[in-house]
Chains A and B, each alone.
Chain A
């Protein structure tokens, strides 16, 4: 424990297609990737990210913020290049 620092580790499930690959017929597989990620602690923004297709498949993200305590809510949302979004929430343990 380091004061009130909270280490957040996020694993997302997403193809993160680069737009560089070709299918069996030689056609380019279009890029499809998470573009924006945001994280909130009890509703307060603690990180905002914009990503390109170079972020690895099933993205991993780690960051640290101050001011958290056990039981507080952490929400992480993403929006991908097709406009699909996902939000998940957990509590600090």
Chain B
């Protein structure tokens, strides 16, 4: 017997879940909070520091999956990042030439693959950094993504 074990969630009209949402609120409120300093950082160095890293080293242990070299629509560039570094704890995406370079930060608990796919806005052609925290240390892999039509305007 084969299963495709896929859980697909679609927002927009799930009124039956109202009671669940109510029950979850206390835990949501207890989340660690948004890292204002990291999201205000203007450079990769500033951002790594704000995330708690003393520095970082380049790595080849990050794969970029189907991430495009050239994005026709900067409003939705699908970025795929997977870390092969042992004990990966977090993955951040830094789009160097965006007004706010830190785009997203993901914490990956044990049991979850160190791999994420998300779509981002890109103002212009830019270096995109995957910042990986593994075993307490920070590593960076960089890709250049050309944007032919910017998406932050």
Contacts and interface: CB of A to CB of B under 8 A. Distances in A.
Contact of A20 (B8, B9, B20, B99): B99
B11 A64 contact: no
B112 A55 contact: no
B49 to A, nearest CB: 16
Contact of A54 (B11, B103, B108, B109): B103
Given A60-B119, A74-B7, A87 B105 contact: no
A51 B99 CA distance: 14
B65 to A, nearest CB: 10
Given A1-B4, A87-B24, A88-B9, A51 B112 contact: no
Choose among B20, B25, B121 the residue with the greatest number of A CB atoms under 10 Å from its CB.
B121
B12 interface: yes
B118 A47 contact: no
Contacts, number: 181
B111 to A, nearest CB: 5
B3 to A, nearest CB: 5
B113 A5 contact: yes
Q: Chain A interface mostly helix, strand, loop or mixed? A: strand
A7 B5 contact: yes
Interface string B1-44: 01111111111101001001100110010011111001100000
A60 B118 contact: yes
Given A8-B7, A13-B11, A49-B104, A77 B121 contact: no
A73 B107 CA distance: 20
25 contacts: A6-B6, A9-B9, A10-B9, A12-B11, A20-B123, A36-B31, A45-B109, A47-B109, A48-B107, A52-B102, A54-B122, A56-B77, A56-B119, A56-B151, A57-B76, A61-B116, A61-B117, A61-B118, A62-B116, A66-B113, A67-B111, A69-B5, A77-B21, A88-B17, A93-B5
The 7 A-B residue pairs with the shortest CB-CB distance, nearest first, are A62-B117, A54-B103, A56-B119, A87-B21, A64-B113, A48-B107, A65-B112
